[in-house]
Amino acid sequence: MKTTGIFCRPSCPARKPLEENVEYYTAVKEALFAGFRPCKRCHPLESVGGLPEWAASLLRHIEQDPSVRIKDRDLRTFGVEPATARRFFTKHFKMTFQAYCRSQRLGRAFDEIKSGDPLDDVILGHGFESHSGFREAFFRQFGTSPGKATGEDYIRVAWIETPLGPMITAATENGICLLEFTDRRMLEAQVKTVASKFKLTFSPGENEFIRQVREEIGLYFSGSLIRFSVPIEFPGTEFQVKVWKSLLEIPYGETRSYEDIAKRLGTPKAVRAVGHANGLNRIGIIIPCHRVVNKNGELGGYGGGLWRKKQLLEIERLHRRSN
């Protein structure tokens, strides 16, 4: 804000200033270079909604070796109270810390069985003490037995940090099927839709597509990438798929109206249906629903929050000019 010399997040709870007193910047460093000081209420220098360092450290530890069983006494050696870990993981991952660790081990075990590793080696390698215990946990997690895993699949789900807040991403063995900001109200419904469309269960894990999308999202926010190459899967009704494919054709840094898309699809009166399909997009940023605006040029709605839509468009406009 020009009158105070302070810069905030768009979501700052402080009293909103008059529009004529506001300047917008697409990156924290630009606001700092312009001489503004960070707000003490919304802390814009910190990652938006990011993981606390203790949680990020635990996740890195698990990802490096999912087979290690971390017990309550081990958590305390990391300086983390078990109750704190349990509450945090239940809130952010919809499961306790121990359940998250077990899911990671089972997901890695699934991948190893699918690739042909001997079952005995897999069971021992992931900390399970008996075949029966492993089979029971495996069935609860995936709804199938270890012996059938070679012909089955599951949806791997992971967390991605971005400058606009954390996102949850999910992938099958063929590509990314979900990419949403974690605070989106429709996230739970979208997860259920994906599970229903693919008839597969979710489990924490990674594959080549999740690693690729994490890298490409980072490059996108830095302005180094304007077109994603990671494979995506987006099953839906015939009309929904047509709308989502139309969104993929909107050039980086440009916008189209709902009316424009309806006309392009040969259904000029289906503006409301286009808006509904746009709102049901499950692969944010990559399928750029943020590039769709109202006919008068106003931003309209966005599932990830209108402030994020504005920021995404500003990022693209800035880097399009620089490129």
Which two structure tokens, joined as six digits, stand for 17? Answer: 């200033």
CA gap 138, 158 in Å, rounded: 19
Cα Rg, the chain, nearest whole Å: 22
- CA nearest neighbour of 22 among 48, 49, 41, 3: 3
**Degrees (nearest 5) of the Cα angle 301, 170, 174?**
115
Show Cβ contacts of residue 49 under 8 Å, excluding neighbours closer than 6 positions: 165, 166, 182, 183
Catalytic-role residue among 39, 101, 177, 289: 289
| DSSP H or E segment with residue 310 | helix 306-322
Compute how many other C-beta atoms are within 10 angstroms of the C-beta atom of residue 230: 21
Which two structure tokens, joined as six digits, stand for 261? Answer: 């898309």
Inter-residue contact 142 to 201 (CB < 8 Å)? yes
- Residues linked to residue 198 through DSSP beta bridges, in sequence order: none
| Active site annotation includes 177 | no
CA gap 158, 148 in Å, rounded: 24
Which two structure tokens, joined as six digits, stand for 119? Answer: 């079952």
Catalytic-role residue among 8, 39, 101, 177: 8
Which two structure tokens, joined as six digits, stand for 96? Answer: 């306790």
- Tell me phi and psi for residue 35, to 5 degrees: 95, 10
Compute how many other C-beta atoms are within 10 angstroms of the C-beta atom of residue 92: 16
| Active site annotation includes 8 | yes
Catalytic residues: 8, 289
